[in-house]
Amino acid sequence: MTPEALAGGFARPAEEAARGFRGLLEVLARPGLILRLGGAAPPAPLGAAAGVLALVLLDRTTPVHLAGGHDCPDLRDWLAFHCGAPLVGAEEAAFAFGRWEDLHPVARFAIGTPDYPDRAATLVIDCPRLEAEGARLRGPGIRGEARLSLPEIAAFRANRARFPLGFDAFLTCGDRIAGLPRSTRVEDV
């Protein structure tokens, strides 16, 4: 483990974890909302918002998959030190981090079961940009409609068709984050 793995956690853990948790709940409850989350400084390629998510939601009982360039020694060490989360293959993951193209095919991630729909994976998608434009979002937590720049529409539309099964997603770009629960209907513009 490198000395860099020991850095990048919360400076004020109780306060920053509470703020981060509140932000994560808010973006999932209001799909299309984009918030800034800071306080974490994980190694590249993980951005600050995804780092906050990791510090708040992962622990030694949370199986994590790192896809593509996210599966690197610096990030593995950082997650091991700060979260203790075990690294697993895509099929066993509760959380998966990576770029959209590296997470494909998304059908390999758990979507829950009819008896336990909560046993689905959550994808943390590192996006090159995250804006309130593009695909139209409708459903719970959205008054009227919202817009969000998604990396693809078809996969999210297919995911919604499986509801109450399906994966949930957080989209991140640096310190910005948005949530896209499986209950959200995604439409072309």
Burial code of 81-118, b = ≥16 C-beta within 10 A, e = fewer? bbbebbebebeebbbbbbbbebbeebeebbbbeeeeee
Domain count, the chain: 1
How much of the chain exceeds pLDDT 70, in percent?
A: 99
What pTM does this model have? Answer: 0.96
The predicted pLDDT at position 20 comes to 98
For position 74, which CATH number holds? 3.40.50.11310
pLDDT 10s digits, 146-162: 999 999 999 999 999 99
pLDDT 10s digits, 56-67: 999 999 999 999
The domain of 7 spans 3-187
| Three-class SS of 125-171 | EECCCCCCCCEEEECCCCCCCEEECCCCCHHHHHHHHCCCCCCEEEE
